[in-house]
Amino acid sequence: MARRKTDNPIFPAIVLVLAWIVPGAGHVYIGRAARGLIIFVTVTATFWAGIAMGGIMTVDSRTERWWFAADLCTGVNGLVSWYRSKRVYAEVDRELKSGPYAEQFYEDAPNAVGEESRRYYLSSAHRAEVVSDLRQRYVDKILSDKGYRLAAPAETVARAYSGVAGLLNALCIFDAVVLVLMGRGAEPGSTTPQRRKDDREGSDA
Amino acid sequence: MMILALFERPMTLHFYSLLWLLMPLCVVVAIVYKTLRTEHLSRLPGEIARLVAYMAAGLGILALGLWMLHEYWPFS
């Protein structure tokens, strides 16, 4: 396998980080600028189209962990959306702790546990689960009242768009890193001095 | 601020629009996949168009097959 032997070697770790932070940046860095630009425009537009359809809560680290992991593959796009959804959740938590919904929640919680324990024996873990379910219902209600709650069918489309954007960027990250490891940086068929040198080294190996 | 507001609240989508929203997703997948795979960028638009056509045809055949199963399944 031919490896790139230049004065300025390209480190796969740098390519990996660049390609993750800004979609397409890894390809631009290794000398495939046109491809990098296409990847940047496509992945970014798809991700934000998903957010436009689903709103802030499309990137949801609490209830949709697999989609969240896929969203984070879009780098800075995913991080910005995560930050915005965290701010909304902090606001919701504040309201549930001391806002207008708190009183109702603290009234309902013992009732919900009592109702369940009349039917089944509840261990302490089950009690915590009942309270956690009730809490989630309240969180949904608050989000709904604020107009942020994401429900089907918009939920399906929005999460698919932003998640697929993340998975496509993961593919691009993998491609950029593998190209560097194989010593194939610049565009195939290009006539730059670097490319000619790479091609010579490739045929020698 | 106006642009940010666009990304805050969910849109109202109807169930029947879901299938049409699948096509842009197919186009996006085709663009990224072919951008990575193609040797010469000059051939990129043609290869993307061909892949999108394959995907649309495949999804159409799948939809037709599922619809026929749903309509004519003898054991239901």
Q: How confident is the model at residue A3 (pLDDT cuts 50, 70, 90)?
A: very low
**Contacting residues of A for B7, CB less than 8 Å apart:** 48, 51-52, 55-56
Domain regions of chain B by residue span: 15-72
Contact map slice: B 21-50 vs A, CB within 8 A: 21, 24-25, 28-29, 31-33, 35-36, 39-41, 44
Secondary structure of residue A42 in the 3-state scheme: helix
pLDDT single digits (tens) A144-167: 888 888 888 888 899 999 999 999
B76 pLDDT more than 80? no
Q: Render pLDDT for A88-98 as a digit per residue (tens, 0 to 9).
A: 999 888 888 88
Q: Which residue of A has its CA nearest to B6?
A: A52
Contact A60, A68 (CB under 8 A): yes
Q: How many CA atoms lie within 13 A of A148 on its CB side?
A: 21
- H-helix or E-strand spanning residue A108: helix A100-119
8 Å CB contact of B10 and A55: yes
* Proportion of chain B above pLDDT 90, given as a percent: 61
Res. A28: pLDDT tops 70? yes
Q: What is the ipTM of this complex?
A: 0.87
Please tell me the distance from the alpha carbon of residue A22 to that of residue A36, in angstroms, as a whole number: 10
Provide, rounded to the nearest whole percent, the portion of chain A with pLDDT above 70.
Answer: 84
Q: Which of A190, A22, A70, A55 is nearest to B9 (CA)?
A: A55
Site of tokens 């193609």: B38
Residue A202, min C-alpha distance to chain B (Å): 17
